[in-house]
């Protein structure tokens, strides 16, 4: 029996991921595959301040630090909220705002069925 959850890309998240360097794309493809199959990814961090169940996958490369933010706690799918390149130690306010807004929209959508 296949228990792999589908991925639902929110807003521009898939297009944003496609602009990453190839090494980052491959890394996140593997990591998301683990998540889809109920396994723990290799480098992640909970982002509880952005929403209940929001997680961040991380990858550092010579061209910078890259992030994929997702939620897996819902039955329907793994929801990828945002993919971005981190420019400093702290996550930029605009990225935090995007994640929060997409998370709120997802919650509303799931409530409304």
* CA 82 to the chain's CA centroid: 5
CB 81 within 8 A of CB 54: yes
Can you give the pTM of this predicted structure?
A: 0.95
CA–CA separation, 109 and 113 (whole Å): 6
Q: How confident is the model at residue 25 (pLDDT cuts 50, 70, 90)?
A: very high
CB atoms within 10 A of CB 108: 9
Per-residue confidence band for 71, with pLDDT thresholds at 50, 70 and 90: very high
């Amino acid at each position: 029996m296949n228990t792999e959850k589908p991925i639902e890309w929110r807003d521009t998240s898939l297009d944003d991921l496609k602009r990453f360097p190839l090494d980052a794309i491959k890394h996140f493809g593997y990591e998301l595959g683990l998540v889809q199959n109920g396994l723990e990814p290799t480098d992640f961090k909970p982002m509880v301040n952005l929403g209940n169940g929001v997680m961040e996958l991380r990858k550092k490369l010579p061209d910078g630090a890259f992030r994929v933010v997702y939620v897996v706690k819902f039955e329907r799918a793994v929801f990828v909220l945002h993919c971005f390149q981190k420019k400093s130690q702290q996550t930029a306010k605009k990225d935090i705002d995007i994640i929060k807004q997409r998370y709120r929209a997802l919650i509303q959508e799931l409530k409304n069925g």
